Amino acid sequence: MKKGVMRPGHVQIRVLDMDEAVKHYTDLLGLIETDRDDQGRVYLKAWTEVDKFSVVLVQADEPGCDFMGFKVVDEAALNQLEKDLVDYGVEVEQVPAEELKDCGRRVRFTVPSGHAFELYADKKYTGKWGVSSVNPEAWPRGLQGMKAVRFDHCLFYGPELAAVYDIFVNVLGFHLAEQVLDPEGTRVAQFLTVSMKEHDVAFIHHEEKGKFHHASFYLDTWEAVLRAADLISMTDTSIDIGPTRHGLTHGQTIYFFDPSGNRNEVFCGGDYHYPDHKPVTWKAEDLGKAIFYHDRVLNERFLTVLT
Amino acid sequence: MGRGFQVTNRTTGDSFACGDGQSVLKAMEQQGFKCVPVGCRGGGCGYCKIKVVEGDFECGKMSKAHVPPEAIEQGEVLACRIYPLTDLIIECLPQPAAGLASKQTTTKALR
């Protein structure tokens, strides 16, 4: 049911070396640097995004993800969602406007898997990068590297998936698009959407709390995914796996790592989800095919290498 | 590549050359050895943690979650972020990542 959560809005990623990270996310992924703040954080966006930033890099002693933010339709929805979270027993934290530059107040909460999320209603609207909002050209010139189209979703690893499901589905209005069930019927992976996309956020069961598997960026075509693979080789960037296709979501994908060991994905294609769609189920026994549709075998790294 | 140094893994018995300025993990991968697990290759995930038993090296940046300062003093470092200054003797450590994996109760079904 619609509760006013609209879409993924931002992710704050911890990096060990800011200069290397900025080079990776701009020169290789093709994000655009839009600002920096007095904490030394660097703000980036993909070219089709209308708000000022979607990726925030912060230098830290250990890599990983600080939080992922979702934009909600308006302040009234934000107030209601905040109340709904509190009524559900979720502890919320107020992050004042401008803590992130040009972003309104944020309501932050941590789900039982150990991951922090935020809701916000306002962020500076800067429009798509390099194209006009009137008679826009097809794409802007001057994009770098993989020319990422948008920040798309994150995958997190942690425990308590059922409790996380309850918050996302019952309180925030997400839908379960795809799931992996073990032989006892326990859900060990959940792909949740608040849109027509197959996932806006996903979780895979893992005993340790709060682990970050990847941040994903959308590309237009399979050709663009292959070109991304070329760029990964040209730049001697650490590759995980791909290009290949997922069973889950059926997206075409490649995984690689940023210079601090955070995993990135660029992908294209994939299925769609309407609210009347029932969840797609994959059996845990067939997880190899569910995750890597062509190899049908998991690489151990995909399940265990996290930040 | 310069003259390079020899890296010997005394746990597995493997030995390979490592060029000047090259990380131990990269040298191992390039020469087709598999005696250290390969993760993110960026000092972040802790998967390639080893103990340097003998020899000198320089360190790149590594996650403090996996390599706190006291670990570096004991030679417990990430193979992807060490650059030999002399020949090295290394050994494998009980894997923190693998240890975690074995504790993954529900996720066992995924493997």
Could you tell me the domains of chain A?
A: 5-120 (3.10.180.10), 153-304 (3.10.180.10)
CATH number of the domain where residue B65 is located: 3.10.20.30
Could you tell me if residue B50 is inside a domain? yes
Kindly state whether residue B109 falls inside one of the protein's structural domains.
Answer: no
Task: Tell me whether residue B28 is in a domain.
Answer: yes
Nearest CB to A238: which of B40, B61, B106?
B40
How far, in whole angstroms, is CA A274 from its chain's centroid?
A: 20
Chain B: residue whose CA lies nearest to A260: B42
* The token pair that represents A102 in the structure block: 């040009």
> Which residues in chain B come in under a pLDDT of 70?
1-3, 95-111
Active site residue A255: yes
| Contact by Cβ (8 Å): A25, A57 | yes
Give DSSP secondary structure letters for A191-233: EEESSSBS-SEEEEE-SSTTEEEEEEEE-S-HHHHHHHHHHHH
Q: What is the pLDDT of residues A221-247, one digit of tens each?
A: 999 999 999 999 999 999 999 999 999
Evaluate whether residue B17 is within a structural domain: no
Tens digit of each residue's pLDDT (9 = 90 or more) over A54-90: 999 999 999 999 999 999 999 999 999 999 999 999 9
CB contact under 8 A, A62 and B44: yes
A216 at interface of B, judged by CB pairs closer than 8 A: no
| Number of structural domains in chain B | 1
In a domain, B93, yes or no: no
pLDDT digits (tens, 9 = 90+) for B88-100: 999 999 865 443 4
Any domain includes B38: yes
Domain extent at residue B67: 22-83
Residue B64 lies in a domain: yes
Q: What is the pTM of this model?
A: 0.94
A250 is catalytic: no
Q: Which of A186, A205, A307 lies nearest to residue B44, judging by beta carbons? A: A307
Mean pLDDT of A243-257: 95
3 state DSSP class of A12: strand
Tell me whether A257 touches chain B (CB under 8 Å).
Answer: yes
ipTM for the whole complex: 0.91
Percentage of residues in chain A having pLDDT higher than 90:
95
CA–CA dist A31, A28 (Å, integer): 8
Among the partner residues B43, B45, B105, nearest to A305 by beta-carbon distance: B45
Does residue B92 form part of some domain? no
